[in-house]
Amino acid sequence: MEIRKVQRSGSTFYLYLPAAWCKANRIDHDSQLTLDMSSEGNLVLSSNPEVASEKEITLTFSESNGKLDSRLLNMFIVASYLNPVKSFKIKLSKPISSLDILDQKRLMSGIELVEFGDDSISCESTVSVEDPDVILRTMIRKIINMIRVMGTPESRELVQRYEEEIDRSNTLIQKSAISSLMFKRPSKLRHIELFYIAMISKSLEGLADHLILTTLRQGKGISEPVHLSLQSLLKCLEALDYHSAASFASDVLAATANFDEKDIHAHRIKSILQQLSETLIDWSVTNEVEVRK
């Protein structure tokens, strides 16, 4: 960290930019910079005035690239959607049906914007997310509500709907994090917060997937402890200090102590909850380090 003294000329305050930073970012006398205010009231200076520089990308696949099956193609569609672009197009050497490649679960958040042609896939615009922290809390509540309806007669349709909404939330959070980390849009959240939010979101998506696949025998013995753990997670996110993180981790250890780990889904749910504990502890210690500066 470097401290620089603010200069003043009349009613104008100014600060000299570090020469090394200017050189690394190719800043010269007529460069344009972006100024934004963070949630802590800090002034954020970016070398990329991104508002006017949204990009368009085209990916071309031919026989020389090797066989591109539907699973790989889905990955490229999602990756193109997640990145901060104005539009994208994927050109294929052979016609392919949208039914052959459409992964409804992974593309739910933006499928209304993606068009499938005979030999290409395109998206002319993508949505942005300003409040990934709010979406994360909503995502947790959706999983809690999904657990509540899993034992009801209407559970199949409702669980499917919740699963789609949870996947959509995760996709939007990942997109927001990638866009901000690439300095493509301002965010009220700091990069370190986006990093932890994206990690938690990804874990929650996996948690929901395994909850849906738990066996009937295991169902209640898993769903109720997970429900309690998620309630604890919401409380932890409100405080985000090391005391609340320790409390959440203790709740998870107690809740998962009697899981039958011979069931693969019970084993994975336990691992994901422990992973969430580790992420929250990491985040709380990061906050503690910042407080002690």
Per-residue pLDDT tens for 88-103? 888 887 776 655 555 5
- The CATH homologous superfamily to which domain 132-291 belongs is Phosphate transport system protein phou homolog 2; domain 2 (1.20.58.220)
Q: How far is Cα 124 from Cα 87, in angstroms, rounded to an integer?
A: 4
Using one digit for the tens of pLDDT, what is the confidence trace for 40-77?
A: 557 777 776 554 456 788 998 876 655 667 777 778 88
pLDDT level of residue 198 (50, 70, 90 thresholds): very high
pLDDT category at 213 given cuts 50, 70, 90 is confident
Fold category of 7-51 in CATH = Pemi-like Protein 1; Chain: D (2.10.260)
Q: What residues contact residue 59 under an 8 Å CB cut-off, 6+ apart?
A: 76, 80, 88, 89, 90, 91
Confidence (pTM): 0.73
Rounded to 5°, angle at Cα 177 from 70 and 73: 10
pLDDT at residue 282 tops 80 = yes
Q: Which residues contact 287 (CB under 8 A, 6 or more apart)?
A: 240, 241, 242
% of the chain with per-residue pLDDT over 90: 31
